[in-house]
Chains A and B, each alone.
Chain A
Amino acid sequence: MDTPGVKEALEQLASGVTTSRALTESALAQIDAQNDELGAFITVCHNEALAQADAADAALAAGTGGALCGVPMALKDILVTRGVRTTAASKILDNFIPPYDGTVVSKLRAAGAVFLGKTNQDEFAMGSSGENSAFGPTQNPAAPGTIPGGSSSGSAAAVAAHLCSAAIGTDTGGSIRQPAAMTGTVGLKPTYGRVSRFGVVAFASSLDQVGPMGRSVWDVAKVLEVIAGYDERDSTSMQRPVGAYAAAAERGPDAVRGLRVGVPREYFVDGMQPAVEASVRAAIAQLKEAGAEICEVSLPHTKYAVATYYLVATAEASSNLARYDGVRYGRRAAEPADLDDLYRRSRGEGFGAEVKRRIMLGTYALSSGYYDAYYLRAQKVRTLIRRDFEAAFSDVDIIATPTSPSVAFPMGSKVSDPLEMYLADIFTISCNLAGMPGLSVPCGKDDDGAPIGLQLLAPWFEEERLCAVGAAYEALRGGVA
């Protein structure tokens, strides 16, 4: 039995046609049956999930359930969970049992969500295909033989395969939106500072953001309402009220009437797959038919985004990953000769190839003599990219683009060329550099049935607008696939 989406699950639980225990048992059975093949979960939490489900059923019966009471969810294994192994898909953390919960996890617990398990991903969220995991790759349920996108590969696959009602991912350069596009699901990256990063294994601190992944815009909106908000344990979280995102997603196609939709000239370039361009243009045409005004906008520094991103993200990552040194937790090399040997071998053996590559690039970009030429220059270009968006949003309400220039590519086809892999993130990266929220919603498929995503970008903290427009588009397309 498929696990229902968030909305259906909440309705079924509220009406009493099912229980959280029944949903959870069924989801766990599906995971057990499919995970060997799919590789969506690193850790499945049978006992914990059933205990949470029973507690949720009791709360539902007592009328004290939270906003997601009893809903079975999956958490990317980059989210720190008390008592449940948290690996970030790295060998270096393959035995790490955190003694604390991250804020998003605490909020979901308080809302009554049930955690089925921890999902697969690219190691430390570094990758766009899900192939860089110490626990093996994840398959794309929507297009067999292809990658599910990354780095939130397992969360996307679990949602697409209906193994959970919704999942949590993280997005540093597109890691929620790109796998959502490639698996035909919905993924939302909130504004930087909208959701707490406390208890999220850091990749690139100024870019990382936690967000929901689900089967519909309403579903991700509902989850966002629970996980968003100021957190006194995260100095970069914003003291702003949380919006009524689910209500915004209920406004229907009317939400786009009179809306000014910007289409950036620089995003429709050579190299984009024709099917992707056709689907996204068709989606934009549907918005126009529904009363939106379509305007071309320019984001002139787009072509610098990937270079900027890889310098900023790797520099921050090289620093954030210094703590994995084999001293206090995580993997330690066997029989170290001395302290340096302990550090070098623990890290050399514990990190995968892509992580090492990025640590090396980031260390180089920050090292003496190169800081100004690489890191500082990139942070300055980042300012230009941010200004591009500020200028564009002074003219339009929302920006529509493809999420990715291509549909999911075959497993193993790009692993040999890191640069080519990096360029796959070209449409999602700017949004992280500039901090604004972004949403990917399915907008069609190519001739082989591979899903295509429409990306919507809004100004800082305009997640309600994103949800309203995303849901409106969903309705125009004829509802959730």
Chain B
Amino acid sequence: MSWETVIGLEVHAQLATRTKIFSRESAAYGAEPNTHVNEVCAGMPGVLPVMNRDAVHMAMKAGAALGCQINRLSQFDRKQYFYPDLPKGYQISQFAAPICTGGEVRFLVDGEERVCQLTRIHMEEDAGKSSHEGDSSLVDLNRAGTPLIEIVSEPDLGTAEEAAAYLRELRAILRYIDVCDGNLEQGSFRCDANVSVRRKGEPLGTRAEIKNLNSFRFVQRAIQYEVGRQIDLLEGGGRVVQETRLYNADTGKTFSMRSKEDAHDYRYFPDPDLPPMVIDEAWELRARAELPELPGARRVRYQSEWDVSAADAVTLSASREVADFFEAAAAGSKNPKRVSNWVVNEVLRVVENPEDGLALLFTAAQLAALSDMVEAKEITGKIAKTVFEHMVATGDDPGAILDREGLRPVRDEGAVRAAVEKIVADNPEQAEQFRAGKTKVMGFFIGQVMRATKGKADPDLVRQLLAELLA
């Protein structure tokens, strides 16, 4: 029996504004409970919402970066339900007329490009947070009113891996354009997954919505578990019920929230406190003009212009911090591909979390200089790595490090020749073997010379002299 999985994702991304979406209270994360709350966030009697211009601007940038249509006119609606962390008894959201429609995310899975279409992006306000303690729940409204965009995908994703790759790409894009810090732990990038299965060729199955997935690993595992659960159910003659489920990271299972039968009549209607939002073409163009080159485009360019491997292109473009550093180094070097190896293998080894900034003591230009020394065969790769460690520790120029540490290769033919002559003389047996046609012994002699010169002899010169003396 062949089953097909159908996944659609809803991502809530907090916009990186200073203030909340509808009031001037600070939207900063991590403050003492209820210290970033004013009369509007608390839903006090008589308060009214006033839209944050930067929130709209950021939502528009996200739409532009994701290829959406930016709607000239959009509307805010009230989504009504009772919950202790929802102060007004309704959430201001966009239902009938969102700010953006359409769009797509292109991402790679195993080196192959996939496309997931977007349904829409809409703006809304975040709720507060409840914590549970004994027989009480405690409500902190600091988060209430933080601006969110909800990015809704079409059900275009077929595997848990695709879902995770989609999310990584989406997160990278939002971070590139400075609209969301993408911090999953702090909840600024949250994902709900709609999952269903069907037999090949059959219509869409009933879906379950898995809520509040706060890591890419959990997304993947939760979907995998849920797909298995649904297939088992159907193969056992049961049926999938449309419901909201949560993922338990400890058990690796999803479980039903057992919502009440009438809990989901949200009674949306246009918010009379907020007139229609008009975005003119000039504003849209200003937002578009601020977009940097995005990870997908960089990935393609690194491969086509600089011959970087697909996997490395993904790594290098995953965050803007790394990509910008790489590009600066590559642009200043004679061999960008060699620089890409340096960044992927060495720089990213020493940087703990590139998204927090690389915080390197050395510059991209210094790395380019080091790479070019290897390229020009001025130093060996081995010495270059030693120099790199010094650069990490001090930020000094590679040339200065070579001099200070006495790592300069010995280019003086006389000195190298003396060393080679001594090694050949000290090892007559191996010399005889070589002359008898056992050319593999060359490796032994090179190793001996390099050891004798502490690796500083130019390997080409060593090889040339050995060939001469052993002839």
Give yes or no for direct A-B contact (beta carbon below 8 Å).
Answer: yes
- CB pair B89 A323 closer than 8 Å: yes
Query: Looking at the complex, which of A3-11, A194-202, A296-304, A473-481 is the stretch in contact with chain B?
Result: A194-202
Contact status of A233 and B48, CB under 8 A, knowing A319-B89, A325-B89, A366-B267? yes
Chain A contacts of B82 at CB under 8 A?
322, 325, 343
Chain B contacts of A197 at CB under 8 A?
46, 48
15 pairs across A/B with beta carbons < 8 Å? Answer: A100-B44, A197-B46, A199-B46, A200-B46, A201-B45, A201-B46, A205-B271, A319-B267, A322-B80, A324-B45, A329-B45, A339-B84, A343-B82, A366-B269, A368-B265
- CB pair A205 B45 closer than 8 Å: no
Judge if B207 is at the interface, Cβ distance under 8 Å: no
A128 to B43, CA, bound (A): 27
- CB pair B80 A319 closer than 8 Å: yes
* Known pairs A79-B46, A197-B48 / 20 extra A-B pairs, C-beta < 8 Å: A96-B45, A99-B39, A201-B46, A202-B45, A205-B272, A233-B48, A235-B50, A235-B51, A235-B273, A235-B274, A319-B80, A324-B45, A329-B42, A339-B84, A339-B137, A366-B267, A367-B267, A368-B267, A371-B269, A375-B269
Chain A contacts of B80 at CB under 8 A?
319, 322, 366
A96 to B44, CA, bound (A): 10
Q: A151 to nearest B CB, angstroms? A: 16
Interface string of A81-110 (1 = CB under 8 A from B): 000001010000100101110100000000
- CB pair A323 B87 closer than 8 Å: yes
A236 to B89, CA, bound (A): 21
- CB pair B272 A316 closer than 8 Å: yes
Chain A contacts of B78 at CB under 8 A?
319
Judge if B47 is at the interface, Cβ distance under 8 Å: yes
Chain B contacts of A321 at CB under 8 A?
89
A368 to B49, CA, bound (A): 26
A325 to B81, CA, bound (A): 11
User: Which of A201, A316, A323, A375 has the most CB atoms of chain B within a 10 A radius of its CB?
Assistant: A323
A319 to B89, CA, bound (A): 7
Chain B contacts of A339 at CB under 8 A?
84, 137
Q: A379 to nearest B CB, angstroms? A: 8
Contact status of A322 and B88, CB under 8 A, knowing A99-B39, A236-B273? yes
Interface string of B73-84 (1 = CB under 8 A from A): 000001010101
Chain B contacts of A375 at CB under 8 A?
269
Chain B contacts of A322 at CB under 8 A?
80, 82, 88-90
> Which residue of A has the minimal Cβ distance to B84?
A327
Report B32-69 residues with CB < 8 Å from chain A CB: 39, 42-51
User: Which of A202, A315, A375 has the most CB atoms of chain B within a 10 A radius of its CB?
Assistant: A202
Q: A466 to nearest B CB, angstroms? A: 24
Q: A412 to nearest B CB, angstroms? A: 29
Judge if A206 is at the interface, Cβ distance under 8 Å: yes
Interface string of B268-297 (1 = CB under 8 A from A): 010111110000000000000000000000
Contact status of A100 and B43, CB under 8 A, knowing A235-B50, A319-B78? no
Judge if B139 is at the interface, Cβ distance under 8 Å: yes
Q: A236 to nearest B CB, angstroms? A: 6
Please list the 7 inter-chain residue pairs (A to B) with the smallest Cβ-Cβ separation, ordered nearest first: A322-B89, A206-B272, A205-B272, A366-B267, A80-B46, A201-B45, A199-B46
A357 to B51, CA, bound (A): 33
- CB pair A323 B45 closer than 8 Å: yes
A86 to B45, CA, bound (A): 9
Report A192-219 residues with CB < 8 Å from chain B CB: 197-202, 204-206
Main secondary structure of the interface of A (DSSP, over half): loop
Contact residues on A (Cβ < 8 Å of other chain), bracket: 35 or more
User: Which of B47, B48, B271 has the most CB atoms of chain A within a 10 A radius of its CB?
Assistant: B48
> Which residue of A has the minimal Cβ distance to B264?
A368
Judge if A395 is at the interface, Cβ distance under 8 Å: no
- CB pair A319 B269 closer than 8 Å: yes
Judge if A289 is at the interface, Cβ distance under 8 Å: no
Chain A contacts of B272 at CB under 8 A?
204-206, 236, 316
- CB pair B275 A236 closer than 8 Å: yes
Chain B contacts of A235 at CB under 8 A?
48-51, 273-275
A328 to B80, CA, bound (A): 18
Judge if A232 is at the interface, Cβ distance under 8 Å: yes
Judge if A363 is at the interface, Cβ distance under 8 Å: yes
Chain A contacts of B88 at CB under 8 A?
322-323
Contact status of A80 and B51, CB under 8 A, knowing A236-B275, A322-B89, A375-B269? no
Chain B contacts of A93 at CB under 8 A?
45
> Which residue of A has the minimal Cβ distance to B43?
A323
Chain B contacts of A96 at CB under 8 A?
45
- CB pair A328 B87 closer than 8 Å: yes
- CB pair A88 B89 closer than 8 Å: no
- CB pair A205 B269 closer than 8 Å: no
Interface string of A374-387 (1 = CB under 8 A from B): 01000000000000
- CB pair A205 B265 closer than 8 Å: no
> Which residue of A has the minimal Cβ distance to B51?
A235
Q: A107 to nearest B CB, angstroms? A: 15
Interface string of B10-46 (1 = CB under 8 A from A): 0000000000000000000000000000010011111
Judge if A2 is at the interface, Cβ distance under 8 Å: no
Q: B262 to nearest A CB, angstroms? A: 10
A324 to B275, CA, bound (A): 24
Judge if A390 is at the interface, Cβ distance under 8 Å: no
A99 to B273, CA, bound (A): 22
> Which residue of B has the minimal Cβ distance to A197?
B48
Report A285-339 residues with CB < 8 Å from chain B CB: 315-316, 318-319, 321-325, 327-329, 339
Contact status of A98 and B87, CB under 8 A, knowing A367-B265, A375-B269? no
Q: A342 to nearest B CB, angstroms? A: 9
Chain B contacts of A323 at CB under 8 A?
43-45, 87-89
Q: A348 to nearest B CB, angstroms? A: 13
- CB pair A205 B273 closer than 8 Å: yes
A16 to B137, CA, bound (A): 60
Q: A104 to nearest B CB, angstroms? A: 10
- CB pair A328 B43 closer than 8 Å: yes
Q: B85 to nearest A CB, angstroms? A: 9
> Which residue of B has the minimal Cβ distance to A124?
B45
Q: A433 to nearest B CB, angstroms? A: 12
A98 to B458, CA, bound (A): 82
Judge if A349 is at the interface, Cβ distance under 8 Å: no
Chain A contacts of B90 at CB under 8 A?
319, 322
User: Which of A199, A201, A322 has the most CB atoms of chain B within a 10 A radius of its CB?
Assistant: A322
Q: A105 to nearest B CB, angstroms? A: 10
A106 to B39, CA, bound (A): 15
> Which residue of A has the minimal Cβ distance to B34?
A328
A233 to B87, CA, bound (A): 19
> Which residue of B has the minimal Cβ distance to A370?
B267
> Which residue of B has the minimal Cβ distance to A87?
B45
Q: B244 to nearest A CB, angstroms? A: 18
